[in-house]
Amino acid sequence: MVTSIILSGTAMGCIYALIAVTYNVMFSASRVFSFTAGTLGMIGGVLGSLFIARMGLPVFVGFLLALAGGALLGIVTEIVAVRPVLKSLDQHLYVLSTLALALMIQQFTAIEWSTEPQPFPRLFDIARVEFDQQYWLPMLACAGVIVGLELLYRHTLIGHAFLAIAEDNYAARALGLPERQLRMTSFALAGVIGSLAGFAGGEMLLAFFANAPMLTFYGFVPVALGGMGNNRGAVVAGLLLGLFQQTANFLVGGIFASVAVFTVFIIVLLARPEGLVGSALQRRV
């Protein structure tokens, strides 16, 4: 039982962490949170199942197409739901526009794909063992993304540009950085990460449209607890969340587990609204 808890808890935690990173990458690029992060995770699973299981494409091709689909959705989010409202004075329209877009994608998937969870194909045709691919695939994906982002931010020009935009938007623009293209690229990157989360976790989560609201919530918890824009905090918080949730699941069952997770989340958040790691924001008058 304990091994099962650790394996599935870490795996789920990695999926939640990846969605949290998706939120963070979008936030760094635009200072807004997008409701589409969880939807991207759902799409990764659905596209994987569609291309590989239903259409019979080879695994690697299906994988690339799923990531491409995520990138596309990320760009669509930026163009349709984020860019138009960044200009407006009302700071909170982005909540509504990204919510609307996320709902549209979810409902479309529900009607056209299925309202029921569909099986996700087994990616590598090896026998089932305890430390099965359904567990180490999300862990691998999470590790890969973290390492990749570190390399990107520290050692590439475009990574530095991303950091500049996140740190000080006006200064970056004054330096001549193409803000709009960088933002679109950020959102495409976020789309890839989100889709990867859903694809890697496909066997655990199945291809199901209702994964979207679930990942929207559980993927945001690490962001809130780890501090906005803080990827390391998000990963730690995500792993903790996954382990806590699965422990509760195995011990008391699904219903009580979600109540427990939510109660803890709300209490922590009310005690420290800026998260366990983040810093409180000063308000400008």
Partner 1 sequence: MDTKITKTVSELRPAGANAPAPASAFATALPFLALLVIGIAFPLFGGGYWGVIATRACVYWVLVSGLNLVVGFAGQIAIGWVALLTLGAYTTSVLAAGNVLPALPPYLALAIAALVGAIFGLIVGLPALRLRTFYFAITTLGFATIVTQVALAWQSVTGGGVGVPGPIFPEPFSSQWGFYYFCFGLAAICTWMTANIAASRFGRALTAIRDAEVAAEASGIAKPALLGTVFLFSGAVAAVAGGLFASLQSYITPDAFTLDLSVLFFIAILIGGRSSILGPLLGTILLTVLPEFAAPLVAWSTFLYAVLLLVIVLAIPGGIAEMLDFKNRRPLESDRAIVPRPELVARLLDTAPDAGTLTLDQVALSFGGVRAIDGLDMEIRPGQVHGLIGPNGSGKTTTLNVISGYYAPQHGAVRLNGAALPALTRHQRAHMRIARTFQTPRIVGSASVLENVMIGGTIYGRATFVESLLSLPRHRRDEAMLRKTAMLALESVGLERLAAVRADRLQHAELRFIEIARGLMLRPSFLLLDEPAAGLSAEEIARLSTLLLAIARAGTGVLLVEHHPDLIFDICHHITVLNLGKTLAAGTPAEIRSHREVVNAYLGG
Partner 2 sequence: MSLTRRQVLSSGAAAIASTIAKPAIAAKEPILVGYLPALTGPSSSTGVGINRGIQLAVQEINAAGGIDGRQIELITRDTQSDPTKAVNGAAELTRGQKVSVVFGPVNSGESLAVVPLLARTNTPQIHPCWVDTLTDPKKYPMCFRNAPTNQQIGGAANRYVVEVLKHKKVAVISDTTGYGTASVNAYVPMLKARGADVVYQGNVDAANPDLKPELLRMQSAGAEAIMPWSVNAGFLSRIINTRGQMNWDVPIVGQTTLGSGQTKALLEKPDYWAKVYPNNFRPVCYSTDGKLTDRTSAFLDRLKSAKIEMGDTLLWWIALGYDSPRMIAEAMKNVGSDAEQVVSYLNNLKEFPGVYGDMSFTPDRHDGYPDEEVVMVEANSLNNGAFKLAPGYSA
**Interface ranges with partner 2 (CB under 8 A):** 1, 4, 8, 115-117, 119, 128, 204-206, 208, 210, 246, 249-250, 253-255
Binding partner at 262 among partner 2, partner 1, none, C-beta below 5 to 8 Å by kind: partner 1
90 binds partner 1 (CB under 8 A): yes
Q: Nearest CA to 238 among 10, 8, 25?
A: 10
Task: Give yes or no for a contact between 169 and 179, defined as CB atoms under 8 angstroms apart.
Answer: yes
Specify which residues 207 forms β-bridges with: 118
Q: Min. distance of Cβ 52 from partner 1 in angstroms?
A: 26
Give the footprint of partner 1 on residues 15-74 (CB under 8 A): 33
Residues between 96 and 135 that touch partner 1 (CB under 8 A): 96-97, 99-101, 103-104, 107-108, 111
Q: Which residues of 158-189 are buried (b: 16+ CB within 10 A; e: fewer)?
A: ebebbebbbeebeebeeeebebeebbbbbbbb
Residue 187 within binding range of partner 1, rule CB under 8 A: no
Minimum CB–partner distance for residue 271 and partner 1 (Å):
9
Identify what 51 binds: partner 1, partner 2, none; CB under 5 to 8 Å per kind.
none
Q: Which does 108 bind (CB under 5 to 8 A by kind): partner 2, partner 1, none?
A: partner 1
Report long-range pairs for 255-261 (Cβ below 8 Å, ≥24 apart): 261/218, 261/221
Determine the residue type at 156.
T
Please identify which residue in 1, 126, 129, 255 interacts with partner 1, judged by CB under 8 A.
Answer: 255
How far is Cα 134 from Cα 68, in angstroms, rounded to an integer? 22
- DSSP string over 193-221: HHHHHHHHTHHHH-B-TTHHHHHHHHHHH
Contact at 8 Å (CB) between 186 and 32? no
Is-contact 4 129, C-beta < 8 A? Answer: no
Site track 261-280 with partner 1 (rule: CB under 8 A), x = hit: -xx-xx--xx--x-------
d(CA 228, CA 226): 7
Please, which residue, 88 or 156, has the CB nearer to partner 1? 88
116 binds, among partner 1, partner 2, none (CB under 5 to 8 A by kind): partner 2
Nearest residue to 58 via CA among 146, 130, 121 = 121
Instruction: State in angstroms the smallest separation of the CB of 285 from partner 1.
Output: 5
Pick 141 or 189: Cβ nearer partner 2: 141
Binding residues for partner 1, rule: CB under 8 A, are 33, 80-81, 84-85, 88-93, 95-97, 99-101, 103-104, 107-108, 111, 213, 216-217, 220, 224, 255-256, 258-259, 262-263, 265-266, 269-270, 273, 285
